[in-house]
Amino acid sequence: MIVQDRPYRKFIILSSPRSGTHMLRTTLRNHPHIAARSELFNPDFQRDKPFGPETPALEILNKYIFRDYPEPIKRVGFIIHRSGTPFGDWPDLWPLLQADKSIYVISLRRRNLLRRYLSYQTMRTFRGKPPQPLTFDPEVLKEDFIYQEKELDAFDQQFAGHPLIKVYYEDLCTDYHRTVKSVLKFLGVNDLKLWPDEKGKPIRKLSQAIANYDDLAAYFSATKWGSFFNDDERVVHILKPQGESRPEQLNIFGKAGAYVKDRLKLEPLLSIQERYLLSNREFYSTLFRNWWLRTVGYLFIGRSRFYKELPRDGSNYYSRKVEELIIRSFFQDRKAGFFLDVGCASPIRHSNTFFLERHLGWNGIAMDANPPNKARWRRYRPNSKLYTFLISDQSGTLEKFYESGEVGSTQKERVLQGKGVRGKEIQVPSITLSKLLDDNGVKRIDFMSIDIEESELEALEGFDIERFRPALVCIEWSHKNKEEILAYFDSHHYEMLEEYEPLDNSNWYFVPKTNPS
């Protein structure tokens, strides 16, 4: 077995490119008891990962995938493609997965191999630009059909000794909830109404997408693949309905409910309920349980033990992963501190500091160059100030920034949660952290969070860490900048809290050294 003594079930989504992989992954990821990771062995998805081609496959599996997770997680898995991913750097990856018979296999595929081939070639040819009709060689197409069929059979045989379920992309599109229900039953988790995050591209008719469609249809008409050319096939991408949140589509009672939620500022509570897909009864029970544990529960097991176990056993409300629980554990739910949140994005969702402000009475300063977040920040974060500067190593310049929903970037194009994102260019003034803090009369910082898409070191160049001396720093790191980050904090007499490293593979946590040499 790859990993022993884990309290969860392991699984892989064994797929082929353009087969609905990320639709299924984001669906499963939205289940409160499932951690569904992306294509971690694909170089295109390693840009922000703490490992690279030189990292052994077994180390990646043990340390970064099948690692420790907070208590609610019962199933852990990741995507791996049958082909299309160069595994030359990890020659032992497939043998490792095949040898561990405890791994559950979700074998995802398409029935219509023509549409898979078309989607793949369109993606490779146009790279997000408006697609034009493509011309295919019938012999090349035939070879691909044969190859795909043989590959599917070969991998099903290689994993024949594993628990295995076959899932078809077409079933996800035409009978989505029933198909997802069968996957959840296979994984052994409770059935919930889940939705994917990925928004699929519009489906074009084959006769519109393939320039020589009629010739190909005639060529394959007498073969077993002739049905692939049925141009009346209806394929619908599934996406979570948005209508219920739009006031103009609500009836009078819905509008009244939306008004009450807005006036009472219930968005934080509703985000918790949506995150864990709780019924009203489960929701209030969860709130009470966590309030009881935080206020009284530690009396039964001891305060020190309670906060030591909190990152593993607790449930985070707002942060993306376990960050919120680690921060609470370190400060032991201390009241009335001061935070600095660099790259804060949304005021609530995936925030490392919202719990501190809302539940513990902290205040602070937040920075994010993305203007759309300002109105909601003022409404839900009254005890902190949001500035829309671009944090840099110098002040007073105008810099390019690319606005894209809640999460902007200094990069025009980037990969976010497995899909390409293109931002709208705007001009943003720059400022150093030290100047911004001095302008606000800040003398000390208790907690500092910094997550600005591999620009962390540039921001730290404009920050006098010796003077402000934050008690805890949470910083996102990547394989590209990890050595520089370690060197920076070591040179300023900070040390990493290694006990948190197995729990959070996206961030490092640093504290001042007690006895700097």
pLDDT bracket for residue 309 (50, 70, 90):
confident
Q: State the Cα–Cα distance between residues 20 and 470, nearest whole angstrom.
A: 44
Q: Which residue has the higher pLDDT, 302 or 66?
A: 66
Question: Residue 397 phi/psi, 5° resolution?
Answer: -105, 160
The CATH number assigned to the domain with range 316-512 reads 3.40.50.150
pLDDT of 332 > 70? The answer is yes
For residue 484, count other CB atoms closer than 10 A to its CB: 13
Highest mean pLDDT pick, 68-82, 256-270, 367-381? 68-82
Q: Is there a shared CATH topology between the 9-229 domain and the 316-512 domain?
A: yes
Bridging pattern class, strands 104-109 and 9-15: parallel
Whether pLDDT at 178 is above 50: yes
pLDDT tens sequence across 151-177:
999 999 999 999 999 999 999 988 898
**Cβ atoms of residues 45 and 22 within 8 Å:** no
The percent of residues above 90 in pLDDT, for the chain, comes to 44
Residues near 393 by Cβ (< 8 Å), separated by ≥ 6? 432, 458, 459, 461, 462
Residue 365's DSSP bridge partners are 340, 385
For the cut 70, the answer to whether the pLDDT of residue 305 exceeds it is yes
Taking the C-alpha atoms of residue 163 and residue 160, their distance in angstroms, rounded to an integer, is: 8
In the CATH hierarchy, which fold is given to the domain comprising 9-229? Rossmann fold (3.40.50)
- Within 8 A by CB and 6+ apart from 188, the residues are 9, 74, 75
Could you read off the pLDDT of 79-127 as tens digits, one per residue?
998 874 445 568 888 999 999 999 999 999 999 999 999 999 998 898 7
Residue 384 pLDDT level (bands cut at 50, 70, 90): very high
Helix (H) or strand (E) holding 167: strand 164-168
pLDDT digits (tens, 9 = 90+) for 189-237: 988 878 887 555 567 889 999 999 999 999 999 999 999 999 876 666 6
Q: Residue with structure tokens 């299924």?
A: 24
For residues 415-432, give the mean pLDDT.
Answer: 65
Site of tokens 């050319």: 229
Average pLDDT score over residue span 176-189: 94
Question: Structure pTM?
Answer: 0.61
3-state secondary structure of 392: coil
Domain boundaries, the chain: 9-229, 316-512
Around Cβ 60, how many Cβ atoms within 10 Å? Answer: 22
Single-letter amino acid, residue 72? P
Lowest mean pLDDT among 9-18, 365-374, 413-422: 413-422
What's the mean per-residue pLDDT of the chain? 83
